[in-house]
């Protein structure tokens, strides 16, 4: 009788622990230069992590989080359901990185993103322009002609 009670108690505790372990996608984002070296002057806070379930119903298909000061992110509790996820890290001025992960039951998937800085281009000056205002073309200044027949 005591053995049976202990077994039931153990099964109950295991059921509680399993119920508390929901699936989770978590990880870290690092901002790097073209040589894949960390950029100390840039902080990953504010990077957006999109988690898109490509196999779920539309209402459960998408979840997003923002990266914290340490560059870490974690999906919200109960937001991740089983399926195949496209996890995407995106930040203005940096390239976007995407990973595909398979989530089952209470899977915990750790992902590390290294977002590479996009080099800023230089605008070519318009010859003869006295100021920046002279360089702007308004929609009314553009003549669209139909193609010749």
The label of the residue with tokens 């340490």 reads 70
Compute the average pLDDT of residues 114-134. Answer: 71
Give, in order, the Cα–Cα distances in Å from 91 to each of 102, 127, 133. 24, 34, 30
Share of the chain above pLDDT 90, in %: 50
List pLDDT tens digits, range 81-98: 889 999 999 999 999 999
**Res 32 pLDDT > 90:** yes
26 with 74: CB under 8 angstroms?
yes
The rounded radius of gyration (Å) of the Cα atoms in the chain is 25
How many H-runs (helices) and E-runs (strands) does the chain carry?
2, 7
Mean pLDDT of 15-38: 82
23-116: CATH topology is: Immunoglobulin-like (2.60.40)
Domain locations in the chain? 23-116
Q: Which residues 6+ apart lie within 8 Å of 80 measured at CB?
A: 22, 23, 24, 25, 51, 53, 63, 103
The mean pLDDT of 66-79, rounded to a whole number, is: 93
């Amino acid at each position: 009788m005591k053995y049976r009670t202990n077994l039931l108690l153990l099964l109950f505790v295991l059921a509680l622990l399993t119920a508390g372990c929901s699936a989770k996608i978590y990880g870290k984002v690092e901002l790097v230069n073209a040589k894949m070296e960390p950029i100390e002057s840039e902080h990953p806070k504010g990077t957006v992590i999109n988690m898109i379930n490509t196999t779920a119903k539309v209402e459960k298909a998408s979840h997003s989080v923002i990266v914290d000061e340490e560059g870490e992110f974690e999906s919200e509790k109960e937001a991740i359901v089983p399926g195949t996820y496209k996890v995407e890290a995106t930040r203005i001025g940096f390239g976007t990185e995407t990973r595909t992960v398979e989530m089952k039951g209470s899977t915990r998937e750790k992902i590390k993103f290294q977002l590479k800085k996009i080099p800023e281009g230089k605008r070519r000056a318009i010859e003869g322009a006295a100021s920046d205002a002279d360089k702007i073309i308004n929609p009314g200044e553009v003549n669209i002609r139909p193609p010749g027949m």
